[in-house]
Amino acid sequence: MKLHSAVIALLLLMTMPSARTEEIATMIGSKPMLTYEDVRKVTPALEAYTRDRLLGDVWKRPGLSPRDRSIVTLAALIARNQTIEMPYHFDLALDNGVKPREISEMITHLAFYAGWANAMAAVAIAKDVFAARHIGADQLPAVSVTPLPIDEAAEAKRATSVEAQFGALFPGVVQYTAEVLFRDLWLRPDLAPRDRSLVTVSALIANGQTAQLTPHLNKAMDNGLTQAQAAEVITHLAFYAGWPNVFSAMPVAKDVFAKRPH
């Protein structure tokens, strides 16, 4: 979906929930996403910011595609366990070109980077969105897959560094980091490396985990995320994760940008 069309869809859905949104809401026993009128009754200023700034401005910015913005938004919502907007944003992500298998992989990935319970909460919402769209097992990733190629030299360097720092005290974490994260999860092919990095960076920023941001932002840029796109991800997340988390991330990102080859 083109950017302009995506924003129109956002505005229309919030003004008058679609039949599919209502169907999903009925299936999960909840009301459709809040309308402008609902928000206006409680905080007219928030309604105006939502309409004019978030949907009418941020989502129109050309620095990221609608697909990327959906990935960033879903990563933030899942990482922060903010389920109220998930039905709408799962639906929008599918409209914006994120495949069901990619959403499935995002949830699996975030179990490791935001916790199992947060991933399970997202599963509880996504299953009904998938059911409403008649998405079956044939559109989901397999459990056993042919892994992507691994950069053995880079992985050996990473593993050696982690082992030296933490191996004596936390051998279990070091073992699972190598065996499960970097030699398994990160090599699953149904989420492209750039998208997997985009999900990881978004989740780290959304949860204020800046200690891990330097290696993962570097990895994201090695995987194809440009500096301009990374800056736009941070701008987008100001609205979905809050200004304090973004201001904590910006000095780290600035340092990463400065140290990368130009």
| Contact between 85 and 33 (Cβ < 8 Å) | yes
Mean pLDDT of the chain: 90
- The HSE-up count of residue 209 (CA atoms within 13 Å, CB side) is 16
Give yes or no for residue 98 having a pLDDT over 90: yes
Provide the pLDDT for residue 135. Answer: 98
| Average pLDDT of span 127-133 | 97
| Average pLDDT of span 78-93 | 95
Amino acid in the structure at residue 259: K
Provide the pLDDT for residue 60. Answer: 96
Helix residue ranges, H only, the chain? 3-15, 19-27, 36-42, 44-48, 66-79, 86-95, 100-114, 116-132, 152-166, 171-176, 193-206, 213-222, 227-241, 243-259
Give the percent of the chain with pLDDT over 70: 87
| Average pLDDT of span 133-158 | 96
Give yes or no for residue 247 having a pLDDT over 50: yes
Provide the pLDDT for residue 33. Answer: 65
User: pLDDT per residue over 62-76, tens digit each?
Assistant: 999 999 999 999 999
User: Is 122 exposed, middle or buried (CB count within 10 Å of its CB: 0-12, 13-18, 19+)?
Assistant: buried
In terms of Cα–Cα distance, which of 172, 63, 74, 159 is closest to 114?
A: 74
Give yes or no for residue 31 having a pLDDT over 80: no
234-253 in b/e form (b: 16+ CB < 10 A) is bebbbbbbeeebbeebbebb
Q: Which of 13-27, 77-91, 183-197, 209-223 shows the lowest per-residue confidence on average (mean pLDDT)?
A: 13-27
Provide the pLDDT for residue 12. Answer: 42
Please, which pLDDT band fits residue 20 given cuts at 50, 70 and 90? low
pTM: 0.89
Provide the pLDDT for residue 11. Answer: 46
Give yes or no for residue 17 having a pLDDT over 50: no
Provide the pLDDT for residue 34. Answer: 76
Neighbours of 197 (CB within 10 A): 23
CA distance 153 to 206: 31
Q: Which of 17-31, 43-57, 134-148, 159-173 shows the lowest per-residue confidence on average (mean pLDDT)?
A: 17-31
Please, which pLDDT band fits residue 35 given cuts at 50, 70 and 90? confident
Does 197 or 31 have the greater pLDDT score? 197
Provide the pLDDT for residue 238. Answer: 98
| Contact between 57 and 68 (Cβ < 8 Å) | no
